[in-house]
Homo-oligomer: A and B are copies of this chain.
Amino acid sequence: MQADNRPLRADARRNRQRILEAARQAFAAEGRAVSLDEIARRAHVGPGTLYRHFPTKEALFEAIIQERLRSLIEQARAARTAADPAEALFTTIDATVADAQAKAELIDALTGAGIDVQSTVAAMTAEFRQEMARLLTRAQEHGTVRRDVGIAEVMALLGGVILALRGRPALPGMNPERALSVLRDGLRSPASAPATFEPGVHQPSPGQEAG
């Protein structure tokens, strides 16, 4: 009998890692639609083992999301003390996008696709949101970010950009940096100089341009 917090046995830990890794990849590639059997197969593990570690598909999904969200929250929290509030906000947005790119499951989480909202994930998403809200408020008080947008819009646009980055087929010619700069400049106060707009740098998206 186990007194509840003993560390996992070696093989269990190994399997747990394998499952998580397989799930990470699978969810990243397909979103929450992958079958558990598929994940088990990728992890070289029986479905029962998977079940032992994560009693529900939802549980596994949440575990994956949680690690990701936890790291995003850390970053946001760290940015709270940065000297330039606007830069702090923008940097965190950039980091989030970079992290989430190509991770279908995070998108599913941020956009709430089919999530049972009582979950830990909901709580962590809220926590992330709140950290972001703090950054936003600070930047607004500092005068560098326009005051007429709230955290809801920022998160929506952020989720949107992330999702857009994953469009399959990848939108040809799409440059995440440039997309983000639009978001950043749109958020800036008219007073403050647009830091990211650099007309010279323009490198037109290939294909489909108008004739």
A161 to B148, CA, bound (A): 17
Assess the B156–A161 pair: CB atoms within 8 A.
yes
Answer whether residue A124 sits at the interface, using C-beta atoms and an 8 A cutoff.
no
Q: Which residues of B contact A106 (CB under 8 A)?
A: none
Question: Which of the 9-residue segments A20-28, A60-68, A180-188 touches chain B?
Answer: A180-188
Assess the A209–B169 pair: CB atoms within 8 A.
no
Assess the A168–B208 pair: CB atoms within 8 A.
no
Assess the B169–A112 pair: CB atoms within 8 A.
yes
Answer whether residue A129 sits at the interface, using C-beta atoms and an 8 A cutoff.
yes
Answer whether residue A165 sits at the interface, using C-beta atoms and an 8 A cutoff.
yes
Assess the A208–B129 pair: CB atoms within 8 A.
yes
Answer whether residue A202 sits at the interface, using C-beta atoms and an 8 A cutoff.
yes
Q: Which residues of B contact A55 (CB under 8 A)?
A: none
Contact with B along A171-197 (1 / 0, CB 8 A): 111110011011111110010001001
Copies in the complex: 4
Contact with B along A118-160 (1 / 0, CB 8 A): 0000100010011001111110000000111111111111111
Q: Which residues of B contact A115 (CB under 8 A)?
A: 168-169
Answer whether residue A4 sits at the interface, using C-beta atoms and an 8 A cutoff.
no
A-B contact pairs, 24 of them (CB 8 A): A31-B113, A111-B167, A112-B169, A112-B171, A113-B168, A133-B209, A137-B209, A148-B178, A150-B173, A151-B208, A152-B175, A153-B178, A156-B164, A156-B179, A157-B157, A157-B179, A157-B182, A159-B160, A159-B164, A160-B162, A163-B164, A182-B183, A185-B186, A190-B194
Using a CB–CB distance below 8 Å, which chain A residues touch chain B?
Answer: 1, 30-31, 33, 44-46, 110-115, 117, 122, 126, 129-130, 133-138, 146-169, 171-175, 178-179, 181-187, 190, 194, 197-199, 201-205, 208-211
